Amino acid sequence: MDLSRSPLALPFPDMPDIDGVTPRIARAQYKDWDRCDLTYVELAEGTAVAGVFTRNICCSSEVEIGRENVAAGRARALIVNAGNSNAFTGYRGREAVEQIMDQVAEHLACPREQVFVSSTGVIGVPLPKDKAAAGVEAVLETSPCSWRDAADTIGTTDTFAKGATVSAMIGDQRIEFTAIIKGSGMIAPDMATMLGYIFTDAAVSPTFLQCALSQATKGSFNAITVDSDTSTSDTVLAFATGKAGNMPLTDADDPGADAFIAALEDICRQLAHLVVRDGEGAQKFIEVRVSGAVSDESARRVGLAIANSPLVKTAIAGGDANWGRVVMAVGKAGEPADRDKLSIGFGGIWMAREGQPLPDYDETPVAKHLEGREVTLEVDLGLGEGRAEIWTCDLTHGYIEINADYRS
């Protein structure tokens, strides 16, 4: 299996500049490799920030500090280290993060709480302070880079650079969003932590930005899974420079707030899908659509039980319309379900209705659908109005190849 580039990769889009946002990259040599591994993004004064972070209890210092600082709502800079997650490194790891914050804050003459740091890579090795100091010094003196270069630099085991862009109108003012993300799993702690960064020139309050980001996360980052393993460093940050000059948004009822939220949801979903498309060993992009649940949250849990089932994922990898495994996954989800009301389909074709296989079911078109790169799987629980969509990828030999031999 060729694992050098996911067959589900999308081309890197043309990304507009965002007024007040300047990316730069440098080499800190966190690993012994011939590539840039330190990304710096400078943000205009007054930039609003919001963030969502991993719920893994064993999270990194970066996540702990980021969670504290996002509460103050303002950002001047972002640093991303690739090759070392600095997680599970105790006080030494925390000192390295604080050193970077101090160094950048001094350069910008800003409070250090406005400097955000992320790290991704191996767990359990403290981020080397000397390499970090030299890398930060170098990056502050370098010229701005393209978004494509920044997307490459935050990556680790990613097989393609991931970016997305959308625009929206707030009143008669056009606003732009650009975003980059890395991850080859939501969910792979020592190699493919998911880190995402969204930049917009919109003028919004930090509180509004946080609410909008939290809402957008539900149907995007929290609706994907590659392997059910939750990273210690997952972070998504949204930065809004305010340079677009729109009437500032501070509340969901403000004119234009709907357009902003819709655009943010759009870009978050694009980013989330890109991560699944680079899922470790992925050969197929799978959309799981659950309807008829007692609530949306119940539908989400059923969808995740299906999307995390190794037996469902291997069946789809093998192009096998094995809906019995979907029955199993629904039944183990721990959510209300009634075997005799359950319907299951692939690619829009129902194979089982209300607890029984359809007598006239023809597997040919379903087998054809499963041969493709994009697979949809529909489950109707027949109980209520709850629905959810979850995205995942198949489970292949590639996943074993990558993960049985990563760190050593």
Smallest gap from residue 189 Cβ to a copy of itself (A): 4
Continuous H helices in 84-240: 90-108, 129-141, 147-154, 206-218
Asked if 52 interacts with a copy of itself (CB under 8 A), we say no
182 marked as binding residue: yes
Is 408 one of the annotated binding-site residues?
yes
**337 binds a copy of itself per the rule CB under 8 A:** yes
Catalytic one of 54, 120, 159, 193:
193
Binding a copy of itself (rule: CB under 8 A), the pick from 76, 325, 369, 387 is 325
Q: What is the number of other CB atoms lying within 10 angstroms of the CB of residue 161?
A: 22
Residues 60-119 that bind a copy of itself (CB under 8 A): 85, 87-90, 92
| Nearer Cβ to a copy of itself (57/109) | 57
**From 80, 161, 179, 188, residue interacting with a copy of itself (rule: CB under 8 A):** 188
Of 154-162, 266-274, 293-301, 395-403, the window that binds a copy of itself (rule: CB under 8 A) is 395-403
Strand order in the sheet with 115-122: 21-26, 38-43, 77-84, 115-122
Distance CA 114, CA 24 (A): 18
315 makes contact with a copy of itself (CB under 8 A): yes
Report the distance separating Cα 66 and Cα 52, nearest Å: 9
CB of 350 to a copy of itself, least distance (A): 13
For residue 308, the minimal CB distance to a copy of itself (Å) is: 8
The residue among 324, 302, 308 whose CA lies nearest residue 382 is 302
Q: Does 230 bind a copy of itself (CB under 8 A)?
A: yes
CA distances (Å), 280 to each of 1, 154, 277, 398, in order? 12, 17, 9, 7
Element housing 220 (H / E)? none
Q: Which residue has the tokens 């890197």?
A: 12
- Three-state SS string over 278-326 comes to CCCCCCCEEEEEEEEECCHHHHHHHHHHHHCCHHHHHHHHCCCCCHHHH
CB of 231 to a copy of itself, least distance (A): 7
Can you tell me the distance from the alpha carbon of 7 to that of 29, in angstroms, rounded to the nearest whole number?
29
365 binds a copy of itself (CB under 8 A): no
289, 223 Cβ separation under 8 angstroms: no
Nearer to a copy of itself, 118 or 178 (CB): 118
- Has 313 been labeled as part of a binding site? no
Q: For this structure, is 193 an active site residue? A: yes
Chain contacts with a copy of itself (rule: CB under 8 A) = 55-59, 85, 87-90, 92, 122-125, 188-190, 227-232, 308-311, 314-315, 317-320, 322-325, 327-332, 337-340, 342, 352, 355-357, 395-397, 399-401, 403-408
The set of catalytic residues is 193
Question: Could you tell me which residues are annotated as the binding site for substrate?
Answer: 156, 182, 193, 280, 403, 408
